[in-house]
A = this chain, B = another copy of it.
Amino acid sequence: MKRPTLEVVAARAGVSKSSVSRVINGETTVAPEIRDVVMRAVHELGYVPNGAARNLVTRRTDTLAVVVSDPPQGVVSDDPLFSAVVRAVSRELEKAGKRLVLMLAESDQSRTRVVQYIAGGHVDGVLLVALHGTDSLPAALARQGLPVVSFNRTSAQDVPYVALDNAGGAALAVRHLLERDRRRIATITGPLELYEARERLAGYRQTLRDTGRRSIVALGDFTRVSGAEAMRQLLEDDPDLDAVFASNDLMAIGALRTLQKAGRRVPEDVAVIGFDDIEAASYTSPALTSVRSPMADQATAAVHLLLSLIDGGPTDPVIMPNELVVREST
């Protein structure tokens, strides 16, 4: 099942390789009759250009890597937003006529494999998703000298990024709770190695400080069980609290369960608000109020930034605004 080559097509059409190449690549300096005879030959033979050969000489691959850097426990890729992001990226690349190579970097070993692969010239650019601030990957990739866009802020200074307005979102949540006349507002944080977790915490703190209230903080790690556990902790430490801002929805869902088991009514006794507005937030009872993270839009923006970078465009970071989705839990 050998595929025909340019040369075979050229022979069939009775023209030179160069002419066929020009037709294939849509150059305009080709006489119509040559164009036609070439196209016919192409269709008759079912010719499709060999990608490797083309890559080799053009040094472009029309392929972008999406690298998901994640500890083995899988905080990020377990996240329900993962598939939304992957889909949005995929759709956007499809539109731009590019391909997507997905790589999960879960261990140091796979991290070096990723760098090797990138260095091998297989891709034109890299989209980095959800890294720890301490991650060595962003810097290592940036050093390869090809375009890198991060899906979050990272410790590597010069990596362009598209980020959520995490602090602003947290402020939105807290102000909403204040408007509902809540006085003792606790928070459950994400893992503080992550920028987004730190920013959400900072937004929460700042807003409370501005209104002269004190923070009540419990640590979580963005998983549902950690949310349940943190809520238990909070109830013990401060039984009088009347609202909880969880740094993501999974933890909010965990907190909801804990509250129900403890016999607290939501939202009457304790209001609960999450962050991200994942699908499952609308399934819970009561349905969860949440700060919507426009992940699909963020993914789209990240792809655009990366594509523009590849074309030598600007590298200005993009910050996505969030909005509040009020449901039953507040």
A interface residues (Cβ-Cβ under 8 A, vs B): 1, 3, 46, 48-53, 55-56, 61, 63, 74, 77-78, 80, 82-83, 86-87, 90-91, 94, 99-104, 106, 110, 113, 116-117, 119-122, 145, 224, 253, 257, 260, 279-280, 283-285
Can you sample 30 A-B contacts with CB below 8 Å? A1-B145, A3-B121, A48-B116, A48-B119, A48-B120, A50-B120, A50-B121, A51-B55, A51-B120, A51-B121, A52-B55, A52-B56, A52-B121, A63-B101, A78-B83, A82-B83, A83-B83, A86-B102, A87-B104, A90-B102, A91-B104, A94-B110, A99-B101, A99-B103, A99-B122, A101-B101, A102-B102, A257-B285, A260-B285, A284-B285
Q: Is the CB of A52 within 8 A of B61?
A: yes
The distance in angstroms between the C-alpha atoms of A58 and B238, with both chains bound, is: 66
A87 lies within 8 A of B103 (CB): no
Instruction: Across the interface, name the chain B residue whose C-beta is closest to A81.
Output: B83
Are A283 and B224 interface neighbours, CB within 8 A? yes
A52-B55, A101-B100, A279-B280 in contact; A83/B94 too (CB < 8 A)?
Answer: no
- A103 partner, pick from B51, B78, B90, beta carbons under 8 A: B90
* Least CB separation from A100: chain B residue: B102
In the complex, chain B residues whose CB is within 8 Å of the CB of A102: 86, 90, 100-102
A19 to B51, CA, bound (A): 27
Partner of A83, one of B86, B91, B100: B86
User: In angstroms, how far is the closest chain B Cβ from the Cβ of A117?
Assistant: 7
Between A52, A53, A83, A86, the greatest number of chain B beta carbons within 10 A of the residue's beta carbon is seen for A52
- Tell whether, in the assembled complex, residue A117 and residue B99 are in contact, meaning their CB atoms are under 8 Å apart: yes
The smallest beta-carbon distance between A83 and chain B, in angstroms, is: 4
**In the bound complex, what is the Cα–Cα distance between A203 and B74 (angstroms)?**
35
Residues of B within 8 A of A110 (CB): 94
Give, as a whole number of angstroms, the nearest-CB distance from A135 to chain B.
Answer: 18
Q: Give bound CA distance, A46 to B144, whole Å.
A: 11
Q: Which residue of B lies closest to A104 (CB)?
A: B90
Question: Complex Cα distance A53/B52, Å?
Answer: 7
